[in-house]
Amino acid sequence: MNDKPDLEGAYDLKTPADSLQLYAEWANTYDKKFAKEHAYIMHQHVARAYINAGGFQPVLDVGAGTGLCGQALRERGLDHIDATDISPEMLEVAKNKGIYHTLIEGDILAGLDVETGTYAGLVSSGTFTHGHVGPEALDELLRLVRSGGWIVISIHREHFTAHGFAAKFETLDTSITDLELRELPIYDASGLGTHADDTGFVALFRKA
């Protein structure tokens, strides 16, 4: 793993341990060195799509990091947003923004200590990307949301193709409804670097 706390390091993550190491070092500069400098906008796409789907509460922000997606939801009028992330350092930054109702430190792949059907909806931006979390996590996302609840997550286009998301969605055909995939830019046109033109899918679906 490239252990630098930067975008290239994030794209090179392979394991949860890698994530813990990189984000512990990156947390305090993440908003400036990543979000601002690279003109990251995928969290805005996800928040907008969730609000347009109904904006139901309470909502869980998975892989919340420093709270970019949660803040975008808050700016659109939601006030009961919980957050979960594997990195305590990232959650500490999010906590200081006063966005979230409850913070849950945990690994979504290992399952969260949260009661089934707790949430009316769920969002995630920037978690389903290179080396972070694969399609196996979708089962846990569905467990956390009550029947009829909306899930809106971003999935990096290359990760979607290479790591079996299409096949996983097919296996969920009786568990989800109203699946829609929208390919959108991850970064604004002003973004710099080798990944400036990267795109991702915003996947919208409901728990059956």
- What contacts 1, CB < 8 A, 6 or more positions away? 9, 12, 13, 14, 15, 18, 21, 22
Q: Quick one: which of 122, 24, 105 has its CA closest to 69? A: 122
pLDDT for 10: 52
Give the Cα separation of 45 and 117 in Å (integer). Answer: 25
CA dihedral (125, 115, 81, 28) positive or negative: negative
pLDDT for 129: 78
Give the Cα separation of 32 and 105 in Å (integer). Answer: 23
- What contacts 170, CB < 8 A, 6 or more positions away? none
pLDDT for 178: 97
- pLDDT tens by residue, the chain, 208 residues: 444 544 444 555 455 565 555 555 555 666 666 677 788 999 999 999 999 999 999 999 999 999 999 999 999 999 999 999 998 898 999 999 999 999 999 999 999 999 999 999 999 998 987 656 889 999 999 999 999 999 999 999 988 988 899 999 999 999 999 999 999 999 998 776 677 889 999 999 999 9
Q: Residue 206: what are its φ and ψ, rounded to 5°?
A: -115, 145
Domains of the chain with bracketed CATH? 39-207 (3.40.50.150)
Q: Residue 190 corresponds to which amino acid?
A: S
Q: What is the pTM of this model?
A: 0.87
pLDDT for 110: 94
pLDDT for 6: 46
Structure tokens at 16: 């949860």
Where do we find the tokens 């996590």?
Answer: 137
